[in-house]
Amino acid sequence: MAKRLKKKTTERKLNRPKKSSDKFKVAKIAKKKPKTTSETRSRIPRPIPKPGLGTVPTEEEFKIRKIKIKVVGLGGGGSSVVSEIFPLLKAHSFTACDTDVRTAKKIKKGVKFFQFGQTALQGMGTGTNADLALKIALEEKERIEQLFSGQDICLIVGCLGGGVASGAGPVFAQAARNQKCISLGIFTLPFAFEGEKKMKVAKKAITELKEHLSGIIVVSNEKIFQLTDRKISLKKALSFLNQIFALWLVDLLDIVFKPSLINTDFADLKAILKDRGHILFFSQAQATGINRTEDVIKKIFQNNLLSDFPKNVKRILFNISGGKDLKLKEIEQISEEIARLNPKAKIIFGVSQSLQQKEKIKVVLLAVCDEDKKGKLIEEKSENILEKNGKKDRKKIGKSFKVKPKIETVLEKSEEKIRRTAVEVQKADEEAEKIEWATGTDWDIPAYLRNNFKK
């Protein structure tokens, strides 16, 4: 009997209808996801958050594209300059370009060597032949363009008057232009004792380089004698000049990339150097003490390496840096003096503070100038700036700014007309009438009408 009852109870349990709670348990078990490991988690794509209020940006969204800068030295002289600049700016790319293989042994470690013209010259130099360097560079134009690909700012350095920098320089500048990057050039002119022929080659190269570069700075090697002692060795003198170029580049990049109170960034530099064929005036000055603003204003417009005062200025970029004691009045005075170069020019400025500039003011100025074709110099502006700074010496003004001894103005012309006597005026009218009769243009007009027109 007991066995029969057990069989009946088991049959009833099997045949009874399932409850809703049992169904829920079965469904819950089916919905359970498999356990994920570290390998499977990496494969599962994460949902992208939609932009909107309250969303926190990820690290990838915060990342800013790094500005790529390449410094290129042309020839033996340009390669030595690049080699000296490299220790101060190791974060950027440096390349020395030459046809001579021996240049690779002179440059420092970390500077790349780009050799061209291997098939034509077989590792030798051009022999100061600019035409030969131009021909070789044109043959390898595509390879040179790859050197500038993906760059934002390109600085080309060279010593003009020889072969590579003077001949191949315009090809390198055109390659940088084709890659649509900001291209700056710093070039030196030969010494006077090197002869007129080298100077002609250098000046011809400058005109060709201007067409492709965003801006160019030309420095004469003769300025070394003014900055250094004549007893110093030539190698040390040239090294001193290279260090100045390095400091220029460091100051320019600090303006663009260092955060400050009033920022200036890469877009501002691009706006200042948007056109081609401009001469650049670059200067930096610093001063301390009670009269530090006046001292900075005196120094900023006088660059010992650049002979010309900034004239025909179209665009200006400058930065004023100091410590916590930097005053608003000091910023105003310096900015007003710089703006007097051309009030109608496009002016972009920045202000920065740092603990290193304690009790010191530093000003960095980059002015984009047009070439003065008519030969007119801004005498009045240069005189006003020097008179305010307590310098009224006419001889110094003439030397520093190349002012002509006499410039005829509109007022002087009007004074000459007023000082003429009646007899001189009558003689001038008679001569003008004779010229009119000789040309025969006014024969059909009566005499009394011609005289009325003159009056």
Over residues 64-97, the pLDDT tens digits come to 678 889 999 999 989 988 988 888 887 788 999 9
Residues 198 and 229 in one domain: yes
Number of domains into which the chain is organized: 3
Other CB atoms within 10 A of residue 146 CB: 11
CB 186 within 8 A of CB 245: yes
Last residue of a domain, one of 190, 224, 241: 241
Please write the tens of the pLDDT for every residue from 311-361: 788 899 999 999 888 899 999 999 999 998 888 899 999 999 887 778 889
- Position 387 scores a pLDDT of 44
Residues 95 and 191 in one domain: yes
Examine residue 58 and state whether it is found in any structural domain, yes or no.
no
Report helix angle 196-210 to 169-178, nearest 10: 10
More confident residue, 357 or 128: 128
Question: Residue 230: which CATH number?
Answer: 3.40.50.1440
Residues 425 and 370 in one domain: no
Examine residue 80 and state whether it is found in any structural domain, yes or no.
yes
Residues 92 and 200 in one domain: yes
Domain range for 439 is 410-454
Question: Residue 348: which CATH number?
Answer: 3.30.1330.20
Residues 395 and 414 in one domain: no
Examine residue 160 and state whether it is found in any structural domain, yes or no.
yes
Q: Residue 389 — pLDDT band, cuts 50, 70, 90?
A: very low
CB 233 within 8 A of CB 142: no
More confident residue, 419 or 344: 344
Residues 395 and 295 in one domain: yes
Examine residue 309 and state whether it is found in any structural domain, yes or no.
yes
Q: Residue 250 — pLDDT band, cuts 50, 70, 90?
A: confident
Residues 98 and 230 in one domain: yes
- Position 17 scores a pLDDT of 54
Q: Does the pLDDT at position 435 exceed 70?
A: no
Q: Residue 37 — pLDDT band, cuts 50, 70, 90?
A: low
Residues 234 and 120 in one domain: yes
CB 217 within 8 A of CB 282: yes
Examine residue 385 and state whether it is found in any structural domain, yes or no.
yes
Q: Residue 123 — pLDDT band, cuts 50, 70, 90?
A: confident
Tokens of 378: 């801004």
More confident residue, 41 or 142: 142
The residues with which 283 forms a beta bridge, in sequence order, are 365
Q: Does the pLDDT at position 12 exceed 50?
A: yes
Examine residue 318 and state whether it is found in any structural domain, yes or no.
yes
Q: Does the pLDDT at position 418 exceed 90?
A: no
Residues 89 and 137 in one domain: yes
Examine residue 135 and state whether it is found in any structural domain, yes or no.
yes
Examine residue 103 and state whether it is found in any structural domain, yes or no.
yes
Largest CA distance in the chain: 163
Residues 305 and 364 in one domain: yes
Residues 449 and 377 in one domain: no
Cα separations in angstroms, 17 against 22, 126, 414? 10, 102, 122
- Position 421 scores a pLDDT of 62
Please write the tens of the pLDDT for every residue from 272-309: 988 888 889 898 899 998 899 999 998 888 887 876 66
More confident residue, 129 or 426: 129
Q: Does the pLDDT at position 128 exceed 70?
A: yes
Q: What is the 3-state secondary structure (H, E, C) of the chain?
A: CHHHHHHHHHHHHHHCCCCHHHHHHHHHHHHCCCCCCHHHHHHCCCCCCCCCCCCCCCHHHHCCCCCCEEEEEEHHHHHHHHHHHHHHCCCCEEEEEECCCCHHHHCCCCCEEEECCHHHHCCCCCCCCHHHHHHHHHHCHHHHHHHCCCCCEEEEEEECCCCHHHHHHHHHHHHHHHCCCEEEEEEEECCHHHCHHHHHHHHHHHHHHHCCCCEEEEEEHHHHHHHCCCCCCHHHHHHHHHHHHHHHHHHHHHHHHCCCCECCCHHHHHHHCCCCCEEEEEEEEEEECCCHHHHHHHHHCCCCCCCCCCCCEEEEEEEEEECCCCCHHHHHHHHHHHHCCCCCCEEEEEEEECHHHCCEEEEEEEEEECCCCCCCCCHHHHHHHHHHCCCCCHHHHHHHHCCCCCCCCHHHHHHHHHHCCHHHHHHHHHHHHHHHHHHCCCCCCCHHHHHHHHC
- Position 189 scores a pLDDT of 92
Residues 117 and 207 in one domain: yes
